[in-house]
Amino acid sequence: MKVLTEIETEVVVAGAGPTGLMLAYELALAGVETLVLEKLHQRVEQVKGGGIQPRTAELLESRGLLAPLLPRAVPGEPASGHFAALPVPLDCAPWRTRHPFPIAIPQWEIEEVLEERAIAAGARVLRGTAVSGVDSDDDGVVVTAGGLRVRARYLAACDGGHSTVRKLLGLPFPGRPGTHQAVLADIRLSAVSSLVPQQMGHMSSLTRHARGYWAMLVPLGDDRYRITFGRADRTDTTRDVPVTPEEITTALQAVYGPETTVGAVENASRFTDATRQVERYRTGRVLFGGDAAHIHPPLGGQGLNLGIQDAFNLGWKLAAVVQDRAPSGLLDSYHAERHPVGAQVLHHTSAQRVLADPNPSEDVAALRDIFIDLLRLPDANRRLAGLVSGLSLRYEMSGEHPLIGQRVPDADLVTETGPTRLSALFGPGHAVLLDLAGTVPDDLRLPPRIDLVRATCADDLGAAALLVRPDGYIRWAADSATPGDTLLAAIAGGLARVH
């Protein structure tokens, strides 16, 4: 009988993808002992999840994580968001953001930075350690992985769409199976035809159809290109079969001519349009995030962003519970807040799936025309821009002030120590009580990890005082009156919902 090494930690995170590593960083930043278990021995450099949406960029910047990522951005990628690849760009400027455009960075580059920072903050990452067993009780969880038996207070399952943890617990993953498959690859071309685009254009103008294939070839600079392709008549949805250079060459030459030659395939992966979501993001001591909680068509670049924002929502709450700064019921607000967000993404990516059909029917073509006209209307464009970028997200929270539940936009402040930006106040991962008009009394006693900052602001943030959660959402606001019971109630409720 194999003897397992027994270890203890406060939180186990299954999966070292963007969601798991972001969560590990948030927990380690708060001083929570965190162990990440990853089945892969080394990171796979696959083309997937390579876009950071504006709201995710804001969140990463608030922790000082955006700056080390920006030098890794892919040159020449589209500088605007889109809805269903329609030829009218989404305008995020009305949402008061410093990051109005998506940023294209390969997923493995994002993972590399997040892993470095998580380890530097104190998290441990064990690779080549696949989870094989999960036992949970009222006091915690026991996770078996490789030669380890790990006892922890909580387990966060961030182990992807084929989540082992979800399967071990026998949890359903309801939704719609995939109906079509496509390939995404980064390639180098040694010869090109006149049909190959030489400069960036909008996605709809880059998509071509020929000989039963559809393909979109995006120039990345020099001889590098990113190709997405599929067959109109292919309904096979198997994702685990490796993509071969021959398969890429066949599709490429069918659409762009026989003289177009593949010099090298740097990486390639398959994806489908499957749509599923777990019924509960929390099952006792186990919590689900990222693709382990939801999968959807990869339209609009939503997956990586949805997972990272799951981690930002869960991280500070789980840390507060583990450190006995909040009751365990605070974790129920993770499901209450994030499940509807995931459902909304599944809903609008399903709509995009129809509109972006590479071989649209006459009816779908007519629908596309209507949507293109609508996107030219500022209000409609703003609505969809906020939806896809994540900037319009508002959580349901108790309280009467109209700002409660909204994200706080970044702003230039002047504090007693000098000029700064509002986003810079969140580097430690604390909540911030921002006093803009001297309304907060000096003798107000705040619990740990809530920082009182007195400042002036040239921009109108809509209130004289704001209590902002560590994930950048406004929990409490006052126009002029001295903070009283409503502020104390917001703090006592763990900065989430007050029931």
Say yes or no to pLDDT of 237 above 90.
no
- Backbone φ and ψ of 285, nearest 5°: -90, 5
- For residue 499, what pLDDT band results from cuts at 50, 70 and 90? very low
Reduce the secondary structure of 150-209 to three states and give it as a string: EEECEEEECCCCCCHHHHHCCCCCCEECCCCEEEEEEEEEEECCCCCCCCCCCHHHHEEE
- Backbone φ and ψ of 226, nearest 5°: -115, 125
- Backbone φ and ψ of 72, nearest 5°: -95, 0
Alpha helices in 224-301 (DSSP H): 245-256
**Torsion on CA atoms 247, 249, 252, 255, rounded to nearest 10:** -90
Which pLDDT belongs to residue 219?
83
Residue with tokens 């892993």: 115
pTM for the whole structure: 0.92
Q: pLDDT per residue over 247-300, tens digit each?
A: 999 999 999 999 999 999 988 888 888 999 999 999 999 999 999 999 998 877
Question: How far is residue 252's CA from residue 64's CA, in Å, rounded to a whole number?
Answer: 40
**Torsion on CA atoms 469, 95, 275, 77, rounded to nearest 10:** -110
Q: pLDDT per residue over 303-315, tens digit each?
A: 999 999 999 999 9
| Helix or strand (DSSP H, E) at 303 | helix 303-322
Spell out the residues 6+ positions from residue 154 whose beta carbon is closer than 8 angstroms to its own: 10, 11, 12, 140, 141, 285, 286, 287, 318, 321, 322
Q: Is 281 helix (H, G, I), strand (E, B) or coil?
A: coil
- For residue 324, what pLDDT band results from cuts at 50, 70 and 90? very high
Average pLDDT along the chain: 90
- SS3 breakdown of the chain: % helix, strand, coil, rounded to 5? 30, 25, 45
Residues 23, 74, 268, 84, CA torsion sign: positive
Residues linked to residue 467 through DSSP beta bridges, in sequence order:
433, 476
Say yes or no to pLDDT of 411 above 50.
yes
Q: Is 424 helix (H, G, I), strand (E, B) or coil?
A: helix
Write b or e for each residue in 310-336: b if 16 or more Cβ atoms lie within 10 A of its Cβ, otherwise e: bbbbbbbbbbbbbeeebebebbbbbbe
Residues linked to residue 217 through DSSP beta bridges, in sequence order:
227
| Helix or strand (DSSP H, E) at 372 | helix 362-375
User: What is the pLDDT averaged over residues 386-393?
Assistant: 97
User: What is the pLDDT averaged over residues 223-237?
Assistant: 76
Which pLDDT belongs to residue 224?
86
Q: Amino acid identity of 451?
A: D
What is the side-by-side strand order in the sheet with 5-8?
5-8, 148-152, 141-145, 131-136
Residue with tokens 């400027």: 93
CA 13 to centroid of chain Cα atoms? 16
Q: pLDDT per residue over 442-453, tens digit each?
A: 888 888 999 999
Which pLDDT belongs to residue 5?
92
